[in-house]
Amino acid sequence: MLPKHPHIELDYAFTIRHAELEDISIFYQLVKVLDAELYGQTTTTQGELLAEWQAPEFDIARDSRLVFAPNGNLIGFSMLHENKDMPVRPDIWSYVHPEWRRLGVGTALLEWAQKRAKENIALIPEDARLTLTTHVYHTDNSAKELLESLGFATHRGRVNMIIEMNEPPQQPTLPDGIRIIHYPEFNNLREVYRVFREAFRDHRGFIDTDFDKAFANYQYDIAHDPRMTQDTWYLAMDGDKLIGFSLCAMSAWDDPHKGWIEDFGVLRDYRKCGIGKALLAHSLCDLYARGLRKVGLNADASNLTGAIRLYENAGMRVFRRWFIYEKVLRDGVEYSNQG
């Protein structure tokens, strides 16, 4: 049962508990309500959500809470995701059905999330800062209001970018000695992940953790992503050395007719010499040749590597925005890369 709230009276007929695998169908139905409210459509499947619940980094008993109305309907949830090796920046995904808002349900879920996140204090270095984060869609004013009332603040965000191609994109011009191949020719997922990890060391939020554990999680995610097609993974090579990647899919999470750039990066020593520009152009050209006329991606709005400028120069524009809200639960040394 939901406890009495110090600020808002809650009906004891509301019930809160952790999720169980058998709840996946009703959870999926509520996620569809969320997606319809915020985005209009989605391609998220029940199988994807189940895979997230069964992922190695997710403890369904500790990391989830569901709220049920007096009639037994699922009306809210909160899911906490974190790097189990160094859980200094847990992130929460929470939602309350529009018909059940302003009754204290969202507050109760966020207070659970803070209490759960504080359990990490015993697991992280004594001097480490512990920060709880969450992403809020730019039109979700009720979520912004609730978070700010509970001491969360936002100083940065993420963007969804899109390009609509009415004609074939310009062909890439590659620097001398650089070539682009497709993943099946390379066929080394471990090396792709190693380069991915090195390229993202410069990105906000990167935490250096055990490689083998992180690679096992990556393998799981790739195996359970129904949109991932490795023949649309484009790799930049310097001789036999992998130096950059554009890992694309033939459909996006929000539109089955839009291509998607899931991960994009170039090793630091190879930046600012045209490789990223060529890799992006190659990706757009190949996806266009496969019949796609729209391609999208997500990016940190304050990206530390200049990626936003690269995407804009290729003709992409901002399509959606999210605010990243944070609350420091224990101050200390920041163990993630924050620029």
Closest residue by Cα to residue 132 from 152, 112, 149, 150? 152
Q: Which residues of 108-125 are buried (b: 16+ CB within 10 A; e: fewer)?
A: bbbbbbbebbeebeeebe
By percentage, how much of the chain surpasses pLDDT 70? 95
**pLDDT number for residue 192:** 98
In terms of domains, do 114 and 165 share one?
no
In terms of domains, do 176 and 112 share one?
no
Rounded to an integer, what is the distance from CA 216 to the centroid of its chain?
A: 18
In terms of domains, do 194 and 303 share one?
yes
Angle at 106 between CA 75 and CA 110, to 5 degrees: 125
Three-state SS annotation for 205-228? CCCCCCHHHHHHHHHHHHHCCCCE
In terms of domains, do 171 and 301 share one?
yes
**pLDDT number for residue 6:** 41
In terms of domains, do 208 and 313 share one?
yes
**pLDDT number for residue 230:** 94
Residue found under tokens 């995610």: 221
Instruction: For the chain, report the end-to-end CA distance as a whole number of angstroms.
Output: 42
**pLDDT number for residue 266:** 96
Residue 31 sits in a domain whose CATH number is 3.40.630.30
pLDDT, tens digit, 9 for 90 and up, residues 257-266: 999 999 999 9
Q: What secondary structure letter does DSSP report for 235?
A: E
* 61 inside domain: yes
* 186 inside domain: yes
In terms of domains, do 103 and 217 share one?
no
* 300 inside domain: yes
Q: Could you write out the DSSP letters of every residue in 8-25?
A: S---TT-EEE---GGGHH
Query: Model's pTM, two decimal places?
Result: 0.91
Q: Work out how many domains the chain is built from and give that number.
A: 2
Residues of the chain where predicted confidence (pLDDT) is lower than 70: 1-12, 303-305, 339
Structural domain boundaries enclosing 71: 15-124
